[in-house]
Structure 1
Amino acid sequence: MSTVAPPAAGTDELWGPAEFTAHLRAVPAERYHDRHPFNVRMHEGALTPEELRRWILNRFHYQRHIPVKDALILAKFDDPALRRSWLRRIQDHDGLVEGEGGIERWLRLGEAAGIERDRLWSGAEVLPGVRLAVDGYVNFCRLRSPLEAVAASLTELAAPTIMRTRIDAFERHYRWIEADALTYFRTRIGQGGRDSEEALALVLAWARTRQEQEAAVGALRFKCDVLWSLLDAIDAIDAIDAIGTIEGAGERT
């Protein structure tokens, strides 16, 4: 857990760059979804094939909206150089040509897990809680300031670590998914590290008041809540099924 002290109430004193960075980094250190019980079980190898497929299918709903939210952020920028730089994030997921990019790599992960592309693309099985979480994030990027929208992306500060953990977990515990299907995770190690450092530099430069700094930290907390809520929705199905099993057993006695 982070040892960074929480912001003092009622003060307008600007944080220095090091202190501001520490407050930002403390958010994913404390609230990132690697701590969620579902992710913990995934990384321990405790998920059934059906649970893993459910995660891949619902997480795809989030993945396919990443370039959408990045397009909304890009549209807020006045600087052509900054737009060109941010455009790379969209290209990373959509690819420069058909058959490339992060979305394609996630589709291949789904196929390796036994989920047809049409089933992933249809979205028919996406859980309501997952839709709500993803819509909330997209609308946040649409409606909030460029500073807050970029700050929300800083969950990528923790992305390289969770991707390494996930690759290790899949190779150890889910060997029925071929290694070539893990390319999405491998690619995001480098992309996440690069993107988070670029976004962090922008947030440090743009937040010129204590209020703006705290808004940036709040935006990052919100994004962590989005990812946590997404897993809550996926994990809740098991709890509902368990309750139904218990109730059914009670009716038979």
Structure 2
Amino acid sequence: MNEAEPLSPEELERRLREIGEERYHIHHPFHHLLHGGKLDRGQVQAWALNRYYYQASIPAKDASLVARLPTPELRREWRRRLVDHDGDGIAPGGVERWLRLTDGLGLDRDYVVSLRGLLPGTRYAVEAYVNFVRFRSVLEAVASSLTEMFSPNIISQRVAGMLRNYDFVSEATLAYFTPRLTQAPQDVAFALDYVKQHARTREQQEQVLDALRFKCDLLWAQLDALHFAYVSPGLPPPGAFRPC
């Protein structure tokens, strides 16, 4: 096939899924340690504290995309994600549920929200994602969300492994994850259909593939930072969270 020819929608989806199979952070050594019960309480606290910044930044990146979507239908669809993460003022959203996780792990909520204990690698990776969605094309921004295609598997592993291996977590502590098992597939169905419809040229399709690679890379980079700081060699930088 001539490399300049567009891929079929089915082939584009196949290549997207190949990227996830190869690069999604389910394969990261820190992931295996976390779910396999090989971390101590302080290391799990460090993961939850740093991951909070990612969770709390998702509504900001989604709001920036809503502002650029051209139709009411698209804005309504993406606005639903804001409610999923920020809540509706009555039912808690994902950010609040994540704070309940950090509460359950014994972290001071004010300290978590202050972001004072963040690893620099976490901060840089998350801010790179927010800026990617803010400044790249709408097509690339939507495509970057497609790591959600692979999240139900990692969520199932995470919840089952942590409940089995850590006596300091409970189903209530991990309540963040339950709604994501239904929210993520709904998000994926829309985003995947969008990119398959709108990535019409080979150049656009390569942008979509690169956007997903970028997102996988920044998720991997966050775990790299955690592994270096809290596992091996175990060198948290100045100002970062230090487990008691």
Q: Match of 2:234?
A: 241
Q: Match of 1:136?
A: 128
Letter in 2 for 1:216: V
Q: Match of 2:192?
A: 200
Match of 2:38 among 41, 46, 69: 46
**Seq. identity, %:** 44
Do the aligned residues in 2 keep the contact of 1:45 with 1:169 (CA within 8 Å)? yes
Do the aligned residues in 1 keep the contact of 2:16 with 2:209 (CA within 8 Å)? yes
Counterpart-to-counterpart distance in 1, 2:216 and 2:162: 23
Counterpart-to-counterpart distance in 2, 1:107 and 1:98: 16
Q: Match of 2:100?
A: 108
Instruction: Within 5 Å, give how 1:8-157 maps onto structure 2.
Output: 11-97=3-89, 100-157=92-149
Deviation at 1:181, TM superposition (A): 1.5
Q: Match of 1:214?
A: 206
Unaligned 5+ residue runs, structure 1?
1-7, 243-253
Q: Match of 2:240?
A: none
Q: TM-score, normalising length from structure 1?
A: 0.90
Deviation at 1:182, TM superposition (A): 1.2
Letter in 2 for 1:15: L
Deviation at 1:239, TM superposition (A): 2.2
- How many residue pairs are counted as aligned between the two chains? 235
Q: Secondary structure at the match of 1:229?
A: helix
Q: TM-score, normalising length from structure 2?
A: 0.93
Verify: 1:229 aligned to 2:221, yes or no. yes
Do the aligned residues in 1 keep the contact of 2:87 with 2:93 (CA within 8 Å)? yes
More helix by share: 1
**What per-residue deviation string (whole Å, max 9, x for no partner) do you get for residues 71-105 of structure 1?**
11111111011101100001100000066100010
Higher-Rg structure is: 1
Deviation at 1:224, TM superposition (A): 0.2
Counterpart-to-counterpart distance in 2, 1:235 and 1:146: 33
Q: Match of 1:175?
A: 167
Q: Secondary structure at the match of 1:183?
A: coil
**What per-residue deviation string (whole Å, max 9, x for no partner) do you get for residues 88-128 of structure 1?**
00110000006610001000000111012111101000000
Do the aligned residues in 1 keep the contact of 2:12 with 2:205 (CA within 8 Å)? yes
Q: Secondary structure at the match of 1:78?
A: coil
Do the aligned residues in 2 keep the contact of 1:53 with 1:113 (CA within 8 Å)? yes
Runs of 4+ in 1 over 3 A off after TM superposition: none
Letter in 2 for 1:214: E
